[in-house]
Amino acid sequence: MELYDRTIELEDGVQVAMCVAFVRFVNQRNSNKNFMSDNIDSLKKSIGSNTWSLLHTVAATYPQRPSAIQQKHARQFYHRIAEFYPCSYCAKDFRDAIKQHPVRTESREALSVWVCERHNEVNEKLGKPVVNCDRIWEKWGASHGTPSQIDSFDDDDDFDDNDLDIDAGGIFPDDCGFCEDTLGKENANMIKEQLKRAQQAKK
């Protein structure tokens, strides 16, 4: 499935690539109620391309001079993708890549190039073309010198894993009707259980 490359214009003139993984997920769900079993290959490709879109866009809109807290959060974000990505061998491959090439969070440019290099490694394994990583952040929505939407983040807003009480609702609340409508009740419950087991394993 081809990458979704539409952009939207924000008030400050920043072109931000639209991350529409979830929208595509919902659209595919609505167009085929049995997509989890009938279109698993198509689903994997869709999740894959849209996840890369998300990772590139997060990097392109990352602060140019991130605080220590922001750098920690960025590392955690990419590490959690490598932990919970819904393809076991893909997730392991990403974890191995992170171990070999730690996430570079010192600047927008460094993080953007890091994501691009990891994407190119995957493309090489799949026999797909690689891209030039020079100024890759511009392709995904930001030019050098453009302020990030999260540059004003206050370090006092820091939070840790204890703030995400999954058992009490957390990032996937038990009463999330929208989640069940879009994912299907069975799939939503499966994800809830996986998240709870992961949380319990850390205790």
Task: Compute CA distances 137 → 44, 100, 152, 161, 180, whole Å.
Answer: 25, 23, 20, 29, 35
Residue 155 phi, psi (nearest 5): -60, -20
201 band by pLDDT with thresholds 50, 70 and 90: confident
- pTM (whole model) above 0.85: no
DSSP state of 162: G
pLDDT in tens, 139-180: 887 654 555 555 545 555 554 544 444 343 444 555 666 666
Number of Cβ within 10 Å of residue 26's Cβ equals 15
The residues with which 16 forms a beta bridge, in sequence order, are: 8
CA–CA gap between residue 98 and residue 188 (Å, rounded): 29
Show the tokens assigned to 68.
């220590």
pLDDT in tens, 16-29: 343 344 455 555 55
Show the tokens assigned to 79.
């590490």
Task: Compute CA distances 2 → 80, 81, 82, 179, whole Å.
Answer: 25, 21, 23, 26
Is the C-alpha dihedral spanning 78, 106, 135, 102 positive or negative?
A: negative
